[in-house]
Amino acid sequence: MSDLSKFDCNCAGNPNNNIFGLPSTEEESRLIILPVPWEVTVSYGAGTSRSTEKIFKASLQVDLFDPDARDCWKQGFYMPAADKKVLLKSDYLRKEAELYIDYISKGDSVENNKFMSKSLKDINEGSLFMNEWVYNQTKALLEKDKLVALLGGDHSVPLGYYRALGEKFGDFAILQIDAHADLRKSYEDFKYSHASVMYNAITEVPQLTKLVQVGLRDFCSEEHAFIQKPENRVVAFFDKDIKDRQYAGETWKTIADEIISQLPEQVYISFDVDGLDPKYCPSTGTPVSGGLETEQVLYLFKGMLETGRKLIGFDLVEVGVGDTDWDANVASRLLFRMCNMLVKSNS
């Protein structure tokens, strides 16, 4: 590790250092935060592909004292620059997707339009490229015994990482914080849509033994039916049900303990910020009223680790870029707390 004897953790973050103002290099850091600047299939608001730069900037204002995981940052957190080729490919295909979505929204036939048929093919192939890129990047880091966090981008980005984790760690579960179930077989004809990431994970990652979803409040009948089938290994805690139980007098601790009881030994956290009340990240791609509090979610994560379950990785996705830095401000603090949890769980 870098010599920290001259590093003042109580000062404002140095922009010449890396994320959170930390002086560690990629080679010596225990945890690597991989930015994935991709948002081709987003169906409402855009901007998530450029959120990682905003989060990096906001991270310089995050104090490094975490009473639940003291000094975990000393093991090193590092975020490389976002890959420009991935960003440029995302930008190009996003324009194609916007035209395609507008076309099909009017009920026009794709089969009879060569341009739209080609666009659909290019977008689906581009998503396959992104999945393989994420898989190769995360696999290489895992082979170096790095802990890996993924920073999106939209929610389609972690699928390749799930594959790499399964090969590295074997069976695991995903704890998903989200307003949406993301269990559509495809959405707007995009097989690897952000709205299909968990369906693809369940059907393509054999080591994924369970999916526990928390905060759902915007989903279709197809997804609801999928959740109800035991063989699909999905347990959903709907936002309405959570609130109904709390209104009736149940504590969040009771509900959190029930959520945790559904999880096996190895857990991956997939955190879509639209699972939160939109006051926290109002510029997220598909905001939905209702949702969870930030400390409510962090309490759940902390409780899970206190049971001895192992956190093997996480993603933080769908952070938007608004008129202010508020979304990045919230996301940078969530990112820091989750990085600390990942390191602590593997120490």
Is 115 domain-assigned? yes
- For residue 85, give the nearest of 21, 131, 133, 138 by alpha carbon: 133
Q: Is the pLDDT of residue 237 over 60?
A: yes
Identify the CATH number of the domain in which residue 44 sits: 3.40.800.10
Instruction: Confirm if 207 and 166 have CB atoms less than 8 A apart.
Output: yes
- 12 within a domain of the structure (yes/no): no
Sign of CA dihedral 135, 139, 140, 141: positive
**Closest listed residue to residue 75, CA positions, set 148, 149, 168, 2:** 2
Q: Is residue 6 part of a domain?
A: no
pLDDT band at 105 (very low <50, low <70, confident <90, very high): confident
Mean pLDDT of 15-20: 94
Mean pLDDT of the region 27-41:
96
Q: What is the pLDDT of residue 270?
A: 98
What rounded mean pLDDT belongs to the chain?
95
- Encoded amino acid at 37, one letter: P
Please state which of the ranges 39-43, 63-67, 152-156 shows the lowest mean pLDDT.
39-43
Is the pLDDT score of 190 beyond 60? yes
The dihedrals phi and psi of 306, each to the nearest 5 degrees, come to -65, -20
Give residue-wise pLDDT tens across range 280-338.
Answer: 999 998 999 999 999 999 999 999 999 999 999 999 999 999 889 999 999 999 999 99
- Note whether residue 11 is domain-resident: no
Range of the domain at 244: 19-345
pLDDT band at residue 257 under the 50/70/90 scheme: very high
Examine the pLDDT at 36 and tell me if it is beyond 70: yes
Q: Is the pLDDT of residue 5 over 80?
A: no
The pLDDT of residue 1: 55
pLDDT in the model for residue 195: 93
- What is the number of structural domains in the chain? 1
Q: Kindly write down the DSSP assignment for every residue of 65-120, as one continuous string.
A: --TTSTTGGGG-EE-PPPPHHHHHHHHHHHHHHHHHHHHHHTT--STT-HHHHHHH
Residue 14 counted as domain residue? no
Per-residue confidence (pLDDT) for residue 264, from 0 to 100? 98
Is the confidence at residue 268, as pLDDT, over 80?
yes
The yes-or-no verdict on residue 60 having pLDDT over 90 is: yes
Residue 262: which pLDDT band, with cuts at 50, 70 and 90? very high
Q: Is 307 inside any structural domain?
A: yes
DSSP state letter for 210: E
For 147-163, the pLDDT digits (tens) are 999 999 999 999 999 99
Q: How far apart are CA 155 and CA 285, in angstroms?
A: 10
User: Residue 3 falls within a domain, yes or no?
Assistant: no
> Model confidence at 108, in pLDDT bands (50, 70, 90)?
confident
Whether 172 maps to a domain, the answer reads yes
Sheet bearing 234-238, strands edge to edge? 77-78, 31-36, 147-152, 310-317, 266-272, 172-177, 208-216, 234-238
What is the reported pLDDT for 2?
62
Higher-confidence residue: 212 or 186? 212
With H, G, I as helix, E, B as strand and everything else as coil, classify residue 312.
Answer: strand
- Please state, in angstroms and rounded to a whole number, the distance separating the CA atoms of residues 196 and 183: 5
pLDDT of res. 161: 98
pLDDT band at 47 (very low <50, low <70, confident <90, very high): confident
